[in-house]
Structure 1
Amino acid sequence: MSYPEDLAYPEPRYHGERGEVNATFRPAGTPPDITSPGGYTRYLATEESTGGEFGLYEMQLGPRSPGAKTHFHKAVSESFYVVSGELELYDGDRWVTGRSGDFLYVPVGGLHAFRNATDEPARMLILFSPGAPREEYFERVAEMSRRGGEELRRFRIRHDSFFVEDFEEGGE
């Protein structure tokens, strides 16, 4: 394989000469940031901790978890990497079964959804790029879903989550 002589890397953002000590380590045993029946969410790398470069979250969905209905984002792409179990992933055209090692990339504006349709828990990594302040969304989405209506719709839009049901005739 040949490579072009001039590779197109992004412009440098670090201008020091020797590098610096600035890495962040998060031990595997760190407790989840959010827990729910059969599930949890861990904030591995937030928009704040990465300076807006990306957000990385580990999520376990309990058995028969509804996950997220069909939606899209206007500001971020979203990627899903299945760590364990099976997840149903909607790629905007069809539902596919994601198993350990499977990956789904959804560009900005791409319709997508996910759910756990099995009787076992499933675990995945979710990557948002660029980073966005998703923590409030994860922490309050269950509460806001119970409230429903226009308040839920405004909450979703505030968090760059445009659910198809919010724009359908008679949808909530």
Structure 2
Amino acid sequence: MSYPEHLVYPEPRYHGDKGEVNATFRTSSTPPDISSPGGSTRYLATNESTGGEFGLYKVELAARSAGAKTHFHKAMSESFYVLSGELELYNGEKWVTGREGDFLYVPVGGLHAFKNVTDEPMSMLMLFSPGGPREEYFEQVAEVAQRGGEELKQFRIRHDSYFVEDFESEAE
């Protein structure tokens, strides 16, 4: 494979000469940050811990978990990497089955959804770029969803999650 002679990298953001000791390490035995009967979420790298560069979350869904209905983001892309089990992923056009090692990248504005329709649990990595403060969304969405209506719609919008179902009646 040949590469252009002049590769273009982003502008440097670190201007020191010797580097810094600033890495973080999280062991696999760290308990989930959120647990529910439908699964668990581990905050591997948050908006805060990466300075807004990205957010990385390990999500485990129980068998027959609803996941998220069709939506899009206006400020960030979202990626899914299946670690184990199977996950139904909507790529904006059709549902595809993601299995161990499969990856789906959804650019900003791309319609997507996901759900576990199998009788087995599954595990995946979710990456948001740039990072947004997703933790409040993950921690409160189930509770706000029970109340529904305009409160749920505004909660979703506040968290850059535009669900198609929230705007269907407006299009008529």
Q: TM-score range by the shorter chain?
A: over 0.9
Percent sequence identity is: 78
Give the structure 2 partner of residue 76 of structure 1: 76
Which runs of 5 or more residues in structure 1 are unaligned? Answer: none
Give the structure 2 partner of residue 35 of structure 1: 35
Distance 2:102 2:43 in 1: 21
Give the structure 2 partner of residue 50 of structure 1: 50
Poorly superposed stretches of 4+, deviation over 6 Å: none
Give the structure 1 partner of residue 89 of structure 2: 89
Deviation of 1:170 (Å): 7.9
What secondary structure does 2:169 align onto? coil
Which runs of 5 or more residues in structure 2 are unaligned? Answer: none
Correspondence 1:157 to 2:157? yes
Greater mean deviation of Cα atoms: 84-93 or 37-46: 37-46
Q: Structure 2: which amino acid aligns with 1:133?
A: P
Q: Provide closer, same or farther for how the CA distance between residues 38 and 167 of structure 1 changes in structure 2, counting only shifts above 3 A.
A: closer
Distance 2:75 2:64 in 1: 30
- CA RMSD for the aligned pairs? 1.1
Greater mean deviation of Cα atoms: 38-47 or 98-107: 38-47
What secondary structure does 1:168 align onto? helix
Distance 1:3 1:143 in 2: 51
CA deviation digits over 1:112-170, x for unaligned, max 9?
A: 00000001101000000000000000000000110000000000000000000000128
Deviation of 1:39 (Å): 1.0
